[in-house]
Amino acid sequence: MGRYYQPEIETAPRERILEIQNEKIVKQVRHVYENVPYYRHLMEEKGVTPDDIKGVEDIKKLPFLSKADLRDAYPYGLLGTDLKNCVRIQSTSGTTGRRVVAFYTQKDIELWEDCCARAIVAAGGTDEDVCQVCYGYGLFTGGPGLNGGSHKVGCLTLPMSSGNTDRQIQFMMDLGATILCCTPSYAAYIGESLAEKGYKPEDNKLKAGIFGAEPWTEEMRRNIEKSLGIKAYDIYGLTETSGPGVAFECEEQHGMHINEDHFYAEIIDPDTGEVLPDGEKGELVFTSLDKEAFPLLRYRTRDICVLHREKCSCGRTHVKMSKPMGRSDDMLIIRGVNVFPSQIETVLLNEGYTPNYQILVDRRNNTDTLDINVELPPEQFSDIVSENQAKERALEAAMRNMLGIGPKVHLVGPKSIVRSEGKAVRVIDNRKLHD
């Protein structure tokens, strides 16, 4: 296998890519208009018909979709085909507790796994590699996506899922894993654990890592590369568009190639919705060009980044996106899990607390920490210590249920949470996530 998984498309001339995109979008808009009443209604409101869309140039005429639409249309409102044609769901958290559920036909799975396979080959993967996937398997897209991509490349796949670091290290060393797929913070943690066990970077057989699902800096990249003795590649994706592999880094390690034959990217001004020219910083918007079951058009990712079209030395012709530089909403990514402050607020209200809380996020020993200070309402206060502590534990359990990760809850006195100009400061994020 060469340097590309699908060389014809990955290195296609720009005109060819545009041709493919134009052809696909015309079909896709018609598919959505005919099969997704929710989106047809949005188009009608905007006065757009499928006939108005003759190519990707016309995508800007289409209405946006946001996380709020996914919540309103939950669970089947954005489904683009009969359920009998679907073979899988994946899911991620939504803004107020209602999860995002994405559907896949077999063809959707194939194209997603192709994208992941491109990422693995770009990181140097071949059928002789041993690919250790320690993203979570299950509803989270990380594990299933890279697992499928690894199969397509023909790697020996170690479907480890997340956690149990001792076992990860045992398999890594005993079976000679050469490619590691996980979140960057977990990669850093594995690096530290290896060193603690007395292993030197050259003792493992790893050559590359494909790390994503959370923001990370160049400094983190250098640390991981040094501690594991590898080259570390970024990968990007979101459940709404399919999962990891929507964009991936090549050997240049400078921006991620977007798989433009499947996903059309725009950068917009998050306030006005206006499309910005290439090179300008704004919110990334994706239109899936050929997905069948969950064909989102103009989905607002809320990730802030820049698109670059300069020629890449790797030979790929697809546009590159920068690492996300932040969010245009208040979503936090903690240990690879999407967390919205509104979810925490929902739990507090459900449990009889006031929405006076503060979220403290930090990164200690390469692991994100989540602490939530909650003001204790007078009627909940007990003179018995254990009763108050039981309230903390009960809140932690309810939050874990809602968020999918466990925070530490601390009860604090009334009016003790810092308010700036009368408005409580909801989130204090002390991690350094962006360069």
Q: At its nearest, how many Å lie between another protein and the CB of residue 411?
A: 6
Interacting span for another protein (CB under 8 A) from 45-53, 113-121, 327-335, 387-395? 387-395
Which one, 124 or 377, has the nearer CB to another protein? 377
Residues 326-385 that bind another protein (CB under 8 A): 376, 378, 381-385
Q: d(Cα 107, Cα 293) in Å, to the nearest integer?
A: 9
Per-residue binder mask for another protein (CB under 8 A), 144-163, x = binder? --------------------
Q: At its nearest, how many Å lie between another protein and the CB of residue 390?
A: 12
Q: Max alpha carbon distance in the chain (Å)?
A: 73
Q: d(Cα 75, Cα 298) in Å, to the nearest integer?
A: 19
Q: At its nearest, how many Å lie between another protein and the CB of residue 377?
A: 8
Residue with tokens 């919110």: 283
Which one, 198 or 378, has the nearer CB to another protein? 378
Q: d(Cα 200, Cα 191) in Å, to the nearest integer?
A: 9
Which one, 350 or 389, has the nearer CB to another protein? 389
Which one, 68 or 390, has the nearer CB to another protein? 390
Residue from 160, 194, 214 nearest 338 by CA: 214
Which one, 100 or 348, has the nearer CB to another protein? 348
Which one, 415 or 423, has the nearer CB to another protein? 415
Nearest 5°: phi and psi at 195? -65, -40
**Residue 105: which residues within 8 A CB-CB, separation 6 or more?**
81, 85, 86, 87, 292, 293
Q: At its nearest, how many Å lie between another protein and the CB of residue 415?
A: 6
Q: d(Cα 385, Cα 1) in Å, to the nearest integer?
A: 64
Residues 388-427 that bind another protein (CB under 8 A): 388-389, 392, 410-416
Q: At its nearest, how many Å lie between another protein and the CB of residue 374?
A: 10
Residue 82 one-letter amino acid: D
Q: At its nearest, how many Å lie between another protein and the CB of residue 352?
A: 15
The 10 Å CB-count burial string (b at 16+, else e) for 319-349 is bbbbbbeebbbebbbbbbbbbbbbbbbbbbe
3-state secondary structure of 200: coil
3-state secondary structure of 67: helix
Residues 228-247 that bind another protein (CB under 8 A): none
Which one, 138 or 406, has the nearer CB to another protein? 406
Asked whether 295 and 111 are in contact (CB, 8 A), the reply is no
Q: At its nearest, how many Å lie between another protein and the CB of residue 168?
A: 31
Residues engaged in binding another protein (CB under 8 A): 376, 378, 381-385, 388-389, 392, 410-416
